[in-house]
């Protein structure tokens, strides 16, 4: 292990020197550093027999090989380091110095399948501008113990993306808001709502009745009504979470991608109203 670390330490400066010697229009290709082509042209090198003909070996990928362990190989498909991107050149050099080349010229991950397509679909899903909730509570400034408070939030529209993959197929990715989860902040269980139900009073179904008012610490300790306050909180942290569900398809049935959450927290003060008899 120490010998391997020493070898890597000696080889890294060599890789750095090679990168410094390469001009801006050079690329790291399966054959080495090629300065005869521009950064947006094909890296060449041929394609494995199990892949679609005509696609260049563009991505430097890594895999766990049964005999060689962690190793690198060139692939026409993502994921991997895109050799057409000049910003990846240094990392490509270091990966090739630090790891052995995979002995199998066509590792299973090179064969066209759904894994790299799903990786691309996740990239698109994560890049969507998924809206966070903008909750509004009624009563707006202060809730009242024993009476329901309503929470409203606008429902953002679904998002969609469509692109042509390197093999000519069409990838479609969609994201839609499926659930709004509300934690009312008073220790009661969180509740999931249909986003369409987050409407203002009186039509909204997202409503909650608080049992205790919230008070500053000084009020709790000195005021005669301090015993009616929540023992710790000066306001309830009402948390609203939008759960966005993603899916993708490539000319067939939709495949679920899972979900991504966006949340917002509102500090909500709750007071109490006490009736008194007047003489």
**pLDDT for the residue numbered 5:** 41
Is the previous residue joined to 81 through a cis bond, with omega within 30 degrees of 0? no
Report DSSP state, residue 44.
-
Give dist(CA 155, CA 163) in Å, integer: 26
The pLDDT assigned to 156 comes to 95
Query: By CB neighbour count within 10 A (0-12 exposed, 13-18 middle, 19+ buried), where does 54 fall?
Result: exposed
User: What are the tens digits of pLDDT across the range 175-194?
Assistant: 999 999 999 999 999 999 99
**CA 43, chain centre distance (Å):** 31
SS3 state of residue 62: strand
What pLDDT is stored for residue 106 in this prediction? 44
Query: Residue 120 and residue 107: Cα distance in Å, rounded?
Result: 20
Q: Which residues in 189-221 are b (16+ Cβ under 10 Å) and which e?
A: eeeebebeebbeeeebebbbebebbbbeeeebe
Which regions in the chain score pLDDT beneath 50? 1-24, 36-54, 105-113
- Beta pairing, strands 255-271 & 170-183: unpaired
Give the C-alpha separation, 193 to 182, whole Å. 8
CB 108 within 8 A of CB 69: no
Strands, E assignment, 141-212: 142-144, 148-152, 159-164, 170-183, 191-193, 207-209
pLDDT at 72 (0 to 100): 85
pLDDT score for 28: 60
- Parse the chain into domains and list their residue ranges: 2-112, 119-271
């Amino acid at each position: 292990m120490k010998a391997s670390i020493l070898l890597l330490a000696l080889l890294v400066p060599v890789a750095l020197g090679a990168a410094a010697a390469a001009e801006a229009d050079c690329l790291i290709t399966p054959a080495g550093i090629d300065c005869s082509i521009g950064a947006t042209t094909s890296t060449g090198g041929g394609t494995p027999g199990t892949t679609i003909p005509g696609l260049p070996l563009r991505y430097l990928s890594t895999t766990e090989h049964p005999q060689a362990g962690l190793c690198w190989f060139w692939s026409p498909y993502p994921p991997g380091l895109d050799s057409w991107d000049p910003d990846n050149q240094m990392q490509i050099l270091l990966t090739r110095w630090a790891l052995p080349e995979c002995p199998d010229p066509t590792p299973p991950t090179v064969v066209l399948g759904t894994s790299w397509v799903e990786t691309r679909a996740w990239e698109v899903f994560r890049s969507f501008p998924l809206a966070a909730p903008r909750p509004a509570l009624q009563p707006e400034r202060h809730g009242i113990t024993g009476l329901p408070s309503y929470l409203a939030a606008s429902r953002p529209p679904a998002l969609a993306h469509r692109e042509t993959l390197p093999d000519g197929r069409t990838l479609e990715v969609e994201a839609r808001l499926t659930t709004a989860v509300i934690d009312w902040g008073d220790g009661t269980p969180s509740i999931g709502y249909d986003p369409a139900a987050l409407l203002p009073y009186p039509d909204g179904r997202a409503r909650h009745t608080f049992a205790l008012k919230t008070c500053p610490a000084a009020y709790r300790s000195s005021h005669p009504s301090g015993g009616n306050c929540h023992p710790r909180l000066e306001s309830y942290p009402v948390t609203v979470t939008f759960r966005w569900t993603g899916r993708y398809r490539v000319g067939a049935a939709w495949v679920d991608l899972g979900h991504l959450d966006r949340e917002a927290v509102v500090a909500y003060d709750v007071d109490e109203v006490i009736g008194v008899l007047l003489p």
